[in-house]
Amino acid sequence: MHDAGRVWAVRQYFVVRDGIRFTLACGTFVPEQDDALFAAMADRLELLDAS
């Protein structure tokens, strides 16, 4: 997505387990700077049991 000469980049991660769906969406104007942060967040993403 372009706005005022900038590019807005979005990365989405999807997790599905036992019929539960979760999406982690990350957006940035500096994807080359934030890519490692988004990857680290996705690596730590986990669905916890409600019980």
pLDDT digits (tens, 9 = 90+) for 15-40: 888 888 889 999 999 989 999 999 99
Domain count, the chain: 1
What's the pLDDT at 1?
65
Does an H or E element contain 50, and which? none
What's the pLDDT at 33?
94
For residues 12 and 24, the answer to whether their CB atoms sit within 8 Å is: yes
Q: Does the residue 51 lie in any domain?
A: no
Half-sphere exposure of 40 (CA within 13 A, CB side): 5
Residue 51 has pLDDT above 70, yes or no: no
Q: Does the residue 23 lie in any domain?
A: yes
Q: Does the residue 7 lie in any domain?
A: yes
The pTM of this model reads 0.70
Domain range for 18: 2-44
Q: Does the residue 49 lie in any domain?
A: no
Half-sphere exposure of 49 (CA within 13 A, CB side): 1
Residue 47 has pLDDT above 90, yes or no: no
C-alpha torsion angle, residues 43, 14, 4, 6 (rounded to 10): 40
